[in-house]
């Protein structure tokens, strides 16, 4: 039985996100412990969850941030993060977003195309600034994750192909208003095996050796994010495999003196501390199915509809021993508005409270107002 004290939350209108701040704090403490005494720096990818209360906890833990839009830059500034810990990524930065980044002297802009590099140089020149950048390299490593969230293979839109990086590095070194800090990689998301990260370490070592021979030294390497979490057994695995993850990089990377290694972790920091709480509106039986219709839908949590993602669902009210096969669906006018098809729940009735687990990452931040729904509220437990 999942332990959420219904008495503490039943005064709130459903649906809403419930965040366990104690779990978030112990997750952050685990990361801090693993990187202590290393040249590793963690930037929280705020696209995973930009709830101001969550951002405050993460800032207080001393982390930097990874940003992918101008409004995320503003949110990070509002939350009080230091600009010296801000990395700004994304394939399509608009001019105003580049200006905002340069105005605030962010630690680094991660550059993804030759044209973008020229634009950043020109904007920096017009502002009398030097832009600190990293070049995003596509290392052609298959992260063996969902096709929509693999980002490091040759066929997707992110980064520079390995065959292009020689030229782009030399170009960055020539441009007068560019300061090249290093190389950036991000191979995908929800990566459950360490093997792709090992491949990434080998590739990074190879590139460092190669450029050292040309007398080029990088002050930093950004290994990206993507560490996966356990959606199947979230109650047993509340904290991601940070020890193994950072341990691998400690063992495998052959760093040069003074070099820092940056990580951009989103999901692994916030996924397990967030739960979507909903109530059952109706139980509808058709000849072949039993539909449990919730008051939360894909506008609250789109991951199942978008990626076919699995989230564990728990009935918080039912004490029945009898399991029923059902489809748990939302109220939105789309056939894909399904949280789980053919799942077993204890006998469920109208008014029951339901928890959808592991919803802290890419849940609230991807919520929409489709069907003119209200955005989900958020509440916190310590
Ligand atoms: C989304 C993203 C991340 C975070 O990925 P997670 O899987 O949430 O850890 C990090 N870096 C970049 C460039 C991203 O786009």
Report pLDDT for 152.
Answer: 57
Please give the number of the atom of ligand 1 that sits closest to the Cα of 266. 8
Does 172 share its domain with 88?
yes
Does 242 share its domain with 347?
no
pLDDT band at 151; cut points 50, 70, 90: low
Mutation to probe ligand 1, out of 66, 67, 157, 262 (largest number of atoms < 8 A from CB):
66
CA-based radius of gyration for the chain? 22
Report pLDDT for 15.
Answer: 98
Please give the number of the atom of ligand 1 that sits closest to the Cα of 267. 8
Domain membership flag for residue 35: yes
Cα of 284 vs centre of ligand 1, distance in Å, is 39
Report pLDDT for 158.
Answer: 80
Average pLDDT over residues 359-367: 98
Cα of 238 vs centre of ligand 1, distance in Å, is 20
Does 216 share its domain with 277?
no
Nearest alpha carbon to residue 259 among 215, 217, 214: 217
Does 53 share its domain with 201?
yes
Alpha-carbon distance of 305 to 248, in angstroms, equals 34
pLDDT band at 144; cut points 50, 70, 90: low
Average pLDDT over residues 45-58: 98
> With 90 as the cut, is the pLDDT of residue 336 above it?
yes
Mutation to probe ligand 1, out of 109, 184, 224 (largest number of atoms < 8 A from CB):
224
Domain membership flag for residue 226: yes
Alpha-carbon distance of 263 to 65, in angstroms, equals 10
pLDDT tens, position by position, 243-302: 999 999 999 999 999 999 999 999 999 999 999 999 999 999 999 999 999 999 999 999
Q: Are 356 and 323 in contact (CB under 8 A)?
A: no
Mutation to probe ligand 1, out of 189, 245, 263 (largest number of atoms < 8 A from CB):
189
Does 169 share its domain with 36?
yes
Average pLDDT over residues 340-358: 97
Alpha-carbon distance of 124 to 103, in angstroms, equals 9
What the block records as the tokens of 352 is 């029951």
Domain membership flag for residue 125: yes
Cα of 331 vs centre of ligand 1, distance in Å, is 30
Residue 225, ligand 1, Cβ within 6 A: yes
- Other C-beta atoms lying within 10 Å of the C-beta of residue 274: 27
Does 175 share its domain with 306?
no
Mutation to probe ligand 1, out of 41, 44, 45, 108 (largest number of atoms < 8 A from CB):
45
Among 12-26, 135-149, 255-269, name the one with the lowest average pLDDT. 135-149
pLDDT band at 1; cut points 50, 70, 90: very low
Q: Total structural domains in the chain?
A: 2
Domain membership flag for residue 135: yes
- Other C-beta atoms lying within 10 Å of the C-beta of residue 314: 20
Residue 222, ligand 1, Cβ within 6 A: no
Please give the number of the atom of ligand 1 that sits closest to the Cα of 228. 7
Does 302 share its domain with 194?
no
Cα of 16 vs centre of ligand 1, distance in Å, is 25
Nearest alpha carbon to residue 64 among 28, 27, 19, 17: 28
Domain end residue (candidates: 221, 236, 270): 270
Taking phi over 0 as left and psi of -120 to 50 as alpha, with beta for the rest, 194 belongs to: alpha
CA torsion 58-64-66-70 (nearest 10°) is 90
Positive or negative, the CA dihedral 32, 34, 37, 43 is negative
Residue 48, ligand 1, Cβ within 6 A: yes
Cα of 189 vs centre of ligand 1, distance in Å, is 6
Domain membership flag for residue 177: yes
Residue 30 sits in a domain whose CATH number is 3.20.20.10
Average pLDDT over residues 200-206: 96
Domain membership flag for residue 189: yes
Please give the number of the atom of ligand 1 that sits closest to the Cα of 136. 13
Domain end residue (candidates: 240, 270, 300): 270
Report pLDDT for 3.
Answer: 75
Does 231 share its domain with 298?
no
pLDDT tens, position by position, 77-126: 999 999 999 999 999 999 999 999 999 999 999 999 999 999 999 999 99
Residue 224, ligand 1, Cβ within 6 A: yes
Q: Which whole-number Å values give the CA distances from 302 to 193, 241, 251, 298, 338, in the listed order?
A: 25, 25, 37, 4, 9
Cα of 369 vs centre of ligand 1, distance in Å, is 24
Does 100 share its domain with 229?
yes
Does 139 share its domain with 277?
no
Does 371 share its domain with 228?
no
Q: Are 361 and 48 in contact (CB under 8 A)?
A: yes
pLDDT band at 32; cut points 50, 70, 90: very high
Domain membership flag for residue 1: no
Average pLDDT over residues 172-197: 96
Residue 266, ligand 1, Cβ within 6 A: yes
Range of the structural domain that residue 26 is part of: 21-270
Average pLDDT over residues 331-342: 97
Domain end residue (candidates: 270, 293, 322): 270
Residue 362 sits in a domain whose CATH number is 2.40.37.10
Does 179 share its domain with 293?
no
Cα of 226 vs centre of ligand 1, distance in Å, is 6
């Amino acid at each position: 039985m999942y332990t959420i004290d219904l008495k503490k939350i039943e005064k709130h209108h459903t649906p809403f996100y419930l965040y366990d701040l104690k779990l978030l704090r112990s997750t952050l403490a685990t990361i801090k412990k693993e990187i202590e005494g290393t040249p590793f720096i963690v930037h929280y990818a705020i696209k995973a969850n930009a709830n101001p209360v969550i951002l405050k906890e993460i800032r207080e833990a001393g982390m930097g941030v990874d940003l992918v839009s101008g409004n995320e830059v503003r949110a990070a500034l509002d939350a009080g993060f230091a600009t010296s810990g801000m990395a700004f990524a994304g394939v399509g930065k608009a001019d105003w977003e580049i200006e905002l980044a340069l105005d605030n002297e962010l630690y680094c802009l991660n550059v993804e195309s030759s044209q973008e590099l020229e634009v950043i140089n020109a904007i920096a020149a017009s502002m009398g600034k030097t832009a600190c950048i990293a070049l995003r390299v596509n290392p052609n490593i298959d992260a063996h994750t969902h096709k929509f969230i693999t980002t490091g293979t040759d066929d997707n839109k992110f980064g520079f192909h390995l065959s292009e990086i020689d030229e782009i590095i030399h170009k960055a070194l020539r441009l007068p208003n560019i300061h090249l800090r290093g190389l950036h990689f991000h191979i995908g998301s929800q990566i459950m095996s360490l093997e792709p990260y090992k491949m990434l370490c080998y590739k990074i070592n190879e590139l460092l050796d190669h450029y050292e021979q040309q007398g080029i030294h990088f002050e930093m390497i950004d290994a990206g994010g993507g560490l996966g979490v356990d959606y199947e057994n979230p109650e047993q695995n509340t904290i991601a495999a940070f020890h193994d993850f950072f341990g691998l990089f400690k063992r495998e990377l052959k760093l040069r003196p003074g070099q820092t290694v940056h990580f951009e972790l989103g999901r692994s920091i916030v996924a397990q501390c967030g739960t979507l709480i909903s109530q059952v509106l109706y139980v509808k039986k058709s000849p072949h199915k039993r539909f449990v219709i919730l008051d939360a839908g894909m506008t609250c949590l789109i991951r199942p509809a978008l990626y076919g993602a699995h989230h564990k669902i728990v009935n918080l009210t039912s004490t029945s021993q009898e399991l029923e096969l059902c489809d748990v669906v939302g109220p939105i006018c789309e056939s894909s508005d399904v949280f789980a098809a053919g799942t077993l729940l204890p006998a469920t009735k109208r008014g029951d409270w339901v928890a959808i687990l592991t919803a802290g990452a890419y849940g609230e931040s991807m919520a929409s107002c489709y069907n003119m729904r209200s955005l989900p509220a958020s509440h916190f437990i310590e």
